[in-house]
Amino acid sequence: MALNDTLLKALSDQITLELESSIVYLQLGIALEDHDLPGLATWMRLQSDEERAHAAKFIAHVTDRGGRPQIGAIAAPSVGEVSVLEAFEASLAHEQKVSESIRDLYRLSQSEGDIDAIPLLHWFIEEQIEEEATVSEIVGRLRLIGDDGAGLLRLDAELGARTTAQ
C-alpha cells in the first residue's frame, strides 16, 4: 500500500526526530566527557548510533513503500554544563518525547487505515518501552549514588562496557 501524504509527512517528521535524538545523545556524551566519565560518554555515543539506526529503519519503511522521506530542520541541542544526573534526566525526557511521537504515529496509522505501518510501529512501541526503562533505571541508580564517587565510577565502568548500539 502506498503512503498517503499525511502519513508520509508524519513519518518524515519521525525520521527527523530520530536524527535529532542522535544529536542530543551525542551532545550529552560530550557533556559527560567534561566529567571525566568515559564509560558514560561511550554509552551516550552508542545510544546516538542507535537513534540513527532507528531513523534508517523508518527511512527503509517509507522508501520500500514508494515514498520519499524528507528530513526536516534539526535544531542544535541546548545542553550546557550539566551534572551526570541532569544528563540522564534529559535523556529520559527526550525518550518520553519520542515515545509519545510514536504513539501519535500509531494513532494516525489507525485513523488513516494504514495497516502496513502497524508492524513497524509495534516494534518501535516495544523499543521505546525498553529505552525508557533503561534510562529510568540509570536515573534511579544515579539518585541512589548521589555524591558517592566510587559508586559513580562503578556505574561508569558498567555502562562503558556496552560495545554496540542495541
Domain boundaries 5-160, CATH class:
mainly alpha
Q: What's the whole-number average pLDDT of the chain?
A: 94
Q: Kindly report, residue by residue over 62-94, the tens digit of the pLDDT.
A: 999 999 999 999 987 777 788 999 999 999 999
DSSP string, 12-27: HHHHHHHHHHHHHHHH
What phi and psi, each to the nearest 5 degrees, are found at residue 153?
-65, -35
- Averaged over 27-53, what is the pLDDT? 95
Chain centroid, CA 80 distance in Å: 19
Distance CA 115, CA 74 (A): 29
Residue spans of beta strands (DSSP E) within the chain: none
**Beta-carbon contacts of residue 109 (< 8 Å; ≥ 6 apart):** 7, 115, 117, 118, 121
Q: What is the pTM of this model?
A: 0.93
pLDDT of 165 strictly over 70: no
For cell 524528507, what's the residue? Answer: 70
